[in-house]
Amino acid sequence: GAGVSQSPSNKVTEKGKDVELRCDPISGHTALYWYRQRLGQGLEFLIYFQGNSAPDKSGLPSDRFSAERTGESVSTLTIQRTQQEDSAVYLCASSLYEGLAEAFFGQGTRLTVV
């Protein structure tokens, strides 16, 4: 596709369940970012992948959150034992390489934990 694709677009889950959110970056983009955006708030950095380097996980809020990336393609953000405070829009972005300021965002996955 031409842009960053995220799936699902919406996810409602019960408290305590695990969820997986998927991101397909723009082909050829080596850098990939995950952010969390609560309603009416800014973008909270979660994790950053750059090529084959070890990811920067400094923004993950707890050990319930993890993310993987297969080479320079798909990434999956996993939230285990979801809590109500995990409800937010999860945004993925990619950029051509680490040194580039411009990142392209997907539409996000709206997660609601009930």
3-state secondary structure of 85: helix
- Show the DSSP H helices in 1-114 as ranges: none
Could you give the CA distance from residue 43 to residue 14 in angstroms, rounded to a whole number?
A: 24
Could you give the CA distance from residue 73 to residue 48 in angstroms, rounded to a whole number?
A: 13
Could you give the CA distance from residue 57 to residue 28 in angstroms, rounded to a whole number?
A: 22
We find the least distance from the C-beta atom of residue 83 to other proteins, in angstroms, to be 23
| Beta-ladder partners of 67 | 77
Q: In this complex, which beta carbon is closest to other proteins, that of residue 13 or of residue 104?
A: 104
We find the least distance from the C-beta atom of residue 101 to other proteins, in angstroms, to be 4
Q: In this complex, which beta carbon is closest to other proteins, that of residue 85 or of residue 102?
A: 102
Q: In this complex, which beta carbon is closest to other proteins, that of residue 20 or of residue 56?
A: 56
We find the least distance from the C-beta atom of residue 33 to other proteins, in angstroms, to be 7
Kindly list the residues in this chain that would bind other proteins in the complex (CB under 8 A): 4, 31, 33, 35, 41-45, 48, 50, 56, 59, 91, 93, 98, 101-108
